[in-house]
Amino acid sequence: MADFSLTGKVALVTGATSGIGRRQALALAQAGAAVVLLGRRAAQLQEAVAEIEAVEAKAAALSADLSDRDQLPNIAERAMVPFGSIDILINAAGVNLRQPAEEITLESWDTTLNLNLAVPFFLSREFIPAMEKNSWGRIINIASLQSSRAFPNGLAYGASKGGVSQLTRAMAEAWSRHGITCNAIAPGFFPTELTAPVYNDPDLLNKLAAQTAIGRNGELSDVDGLTVFLASPASDYLTGQVIPLDGGFTAK
């Protein structure tokens, strides 16, 4: 019988104050994990923690800004405090500045590539020694349709998400031998703060829904199953994969 239980495991979810990360934190908690939620906005963070505690699961808030890479070792150390370890890391924090080529500056490029691509690597690396000791760990990155497709104003974002796909494979190559798997979820369109510009354009939204095989865009609850599967012992032999969660968008 496949083991989808996360009882006794501790997860850290970045970008957990909103959208996909927040939903993933709840899904992991409902499957039995204790969850540390990382975010910058104190009020939203407390709300997300309270949502998990309301289903009688364990959660703790970690208030942190990931943009300063020098702080990542310190952030990782603080993440271990509430429940003593981190077995599962979800790198869900991300930014999409949607700039046309001529508006991209060195600074905006760095903001995107840093948060979306460098942070998932450097933060994950902080947890590897402890995961190696346990011979078990899970890293879940969030890729995108733009990991493999070009969208308007997606130069920096697409470059970062293309990088996330390859980073996922390379991390799997580096660490899977020690029982640490690394996979990525590549979502289609889901209603979050990040996609507000798309959701404010009903014509575009309908076109995107029509592009899927299922005929609709994503609901946040659609991320639950794959998230729990990738975090659980049931996926022990699955690593280095970028799994589209897009209603068949990329199948058509």
Q: Which of 9, 13, 18, 27 binds ligand NAD (CB under 6 A)?
A: 18
**187 is a contact residue toward ligand NAD (CB under 6 A):** yes
**Which residue from 64, 241, 66 is spatially nearest to 168, judged by alpha carbons?**
241
**158 is a contact residue toward ligand NAD (CB under 6 A):** no
Active-site hit among 157, 189, 190, 249:
157
What distance in Å separates the CA atoms of residue 242 and residue 94, rounded to the nearest whole number? Answer: 17
The pair of structure tokens assigned to 87 is 């077995």
Catalytic residue flag (residue 157): yes
What distance in Å separates the CA atoms of residue 172 and residue 44, rounded to the nearest whole number? Answer: 32
Q: Which of 5, 30, 46, 67 binds ligand NAD (CB under 6 A)?
A: 67
What distance in Å separates the CA atoms of residue 116 and residue 109, rounded to the nearest whole number? Answer: 11
| Residues between 19 and 48 that touch ligand NAD (CB under 6 A) | 19-21, 39-40
**104 is a contact residue toward ligand NAD (CB under 6 A):** no
**117 is a contact residue toward ligand NAD (CB under 6 A):** no
- Give the C-alpha distances (Å, rounded to integers) separating 138 from 72, 96, 141, 178, 183: 18, 25, 10, 11, 8
Q: What share of the chain is helix, strand, coil (3-state, %, to 5)?
A: 50, 15, 35
Q: Closest separation between CB of residue 192 and ligand NAD, Å?
A: 3
In sequence order, the β-bridge partners of residue 78 are none
What DSSP line would sit under 173-238, residue for residue? HHHGGGTEEEEEEEE----SSTTHHHHT-HHHHHHHHHHSSSSS---GGGGHHHHHHHHSGGGTT-
**249 is a contact residue toward ligand NAD (CB under 6 A):** no
Q: Which of 79, 82, 112, 144 binds ligand NAD (CB under 6 A)?
A: 144
**65 is a contact residue toward ligand NAD (CB under 6 A):** yes
Q: Closest separation between CB of residue 194 and ligand NAD, Å?
A: 3
Q: Closest separation between CB of residue 1 and ligand NAD, Å?
A: 31
Q: Closest separation between CB of residue 167 and ligand NAD, Å?
A: 13
Can you give the binding site for ligand NAD, defined by CB under 6 A? 15, 17-21, 39-40, 65-67, 92-96, 115, 142, 144, 187, 189-190, 192-195
